[in-house]
Amino acid sequence: MLKELLRETAGRMQKTVESLEKGLRSVRTGRATPALVEGVMVDYYGAATPLQQLAVISAPEPHLILIRPYDAGSLVTLEKGILAANLGLTPHNDGRVIRIPIPRLTEERRRELTKVVSRRVEESKIALRNIRRDSLADMRDFESEKLITEDELAQGKDKLQDLIDRLTDKAVVVAERKKREIMEV
């Protein structure tokens, strides 16, 4: 019972860290990456469709994203979707592909983005603590219902603390790497 709870808790915590990593991929670094536009939703024949399902997205140069649609007739629709996403990027349609130049970040904007990263990491840490709190409450309930012993409760708490320490450290490492990437000129 305790092992099952710990396994479920570990899965929830891991998903929280993965969500942080995915969210940080979309934070601009001044360098072109397909992740900046992959999640953009485009109104394609009346259905909201992710851009990555409608085109090949690449970054052939450090400051340029190239979008090559599978259907050439959808160029204007894709361009409108990118503009509507309010990414602060201006797409250029040349009739075959969409080019999105990525402007260099100012020092002030870099600092703002590192604050955004810090805020997202803090939100993830809070989510991890909330998951831990819920699991501890479940463990205490198990103990009060005599489903586990006091020793098993103590072992469960230790394992839970080890888990949260490991995943919190991982979240911090991911954030520090992203901050370095943002501050890199």
CATH 1.10.132.20 fits 2-26+106-183, yes or no: yes
What pTM was estimated for this model as a whole?
0.71
Amino acid letter, 27: V
Per residue in 157-169, pLDDT (tens digit) is 999 999 999 999 9
Per residue in 65-74, pLDDT (tens digit) is 999 999 888 8
Query: Beta 92-93 vs 98-101: how paired, if at all?
Result: antiparallel
Whether 131 contacts 124, CB under 8 Å:
no
In the chain, list all ranges with CATH 3.30.1360.40. Answer: 35-101
In the chain, list all ranges with CATH 1.10.132.20. Answer: 2-26+106-183
Helix (H, G, I), strand (E, B) or coil at 92: strand
CATH 3.30.1360.40 fits 35-101, yes or no: yes
pLDDT value at residue 23: 86
